[in-house]
Amino acid sequence: MGRDHLMPKAYIGVGGNLGDPIATVRSAFAALAGLPETTLLSTSMLYRTSPLGPIRQPDFINAVAAIRTPLAPLALLSWLQSIEHQHGRIRDGARWGPRTLDLDLLLYGDSRIVEDTLMVPHPGLCQRAFVLYPLYEIAPDLEIPGHGPLVRLLPAVAGQRIAVANLQQGTSGS
């Protein structure tokens, strides 16, 4: 424990809508807990949300995980992409398409990062109920770098469809 509080806290968006997304999201949580010298601090409930974009596809299961890690942001991103790949994610360039697993580095401490391959805070964070509500659940007092208190962002996404996932039902189809 000693130095854990000195390591950055990162928030990871977790979602998917192909195969068994509930099982996949749970498996992704376990994979995050297994990252080098990383502690899984908390996970949100699982939420069912409508997909973004014009492609007809099944609803997504989304959640947010909080971790404490010594991994630098770009190294963490590489690990996240490796976990996606292990779960059958194929990056075919289709934006907002269906996927087995999507892991997004939403926040990394209070850092603001602009790289070719990584932007933190995640650029869509403030416009997406499927990110803000699970994030609020596990970190209600969070300040979003460049945007202020998380709680102030919630009214802007209040009209987006999001519901706690029914874990007794199957999640594939439609």
- Which of 95, 99, 128, 152 is flagged as catalytic? 99
Output the CA torsion sign for 141, 146, 148, 153: negative
Which residues span the domain enclosing 74? 4-164
Q: How confident is the model at residue 11 (pLDDT cuts 50, 70, 90)?
A: very high
- Which of 59, 89, 92, 95 is flagged as catalytic? 89
Residue 147 vs residues 2, 72, 89, 134, 150: alpha-carbon distances, Å? 31, 23, 31, 17, 8
Q: Is 134:34 a contact under the CB 8 Å cutoff?
A: no
DSSP-based three-state secondary structure for 136:
helix
Amino acid identity of 118?
L
Amino acid identity of 29?
F
- Which of 48, 91, 92, 102 is flagged as catalytic? 102
Residue carrying the six token digits 């192909």: 18
Which CATH number fits the domain that encloses residue 17? 3.30.70.560
Q: What would the mean pLDDT of 16-40 be, rounded to a whole number?
A: 96
- Which of 3, 20, 95, 104 is flagged as catalytic? 104
Pairing verdict, β 39-43 and 60-68: antiparallel
Number of domains in the chain: 1
* pTM across the whole model: 0.89
Q: What is the pLDDT of residue 88?
A: 83
CA distance 163 to 13: 16
Residue carrying the six token digits 């874990």: 167
Is 99 noted as a catalytic residue in this protein? yes
Is 91 noted as a catalytic residue in this protein? no
- Classify residue 174: in a domain, yes or no: no
pLDDT tens per residue, range 32-87? 999 999 999 999 999 999 887 767 889 999 999 999 999 999 999 999 999 999 99
- Classify residue 140: in a domain, yes or no: yes
- Classify residue 36: in a domain, yes or no: yes
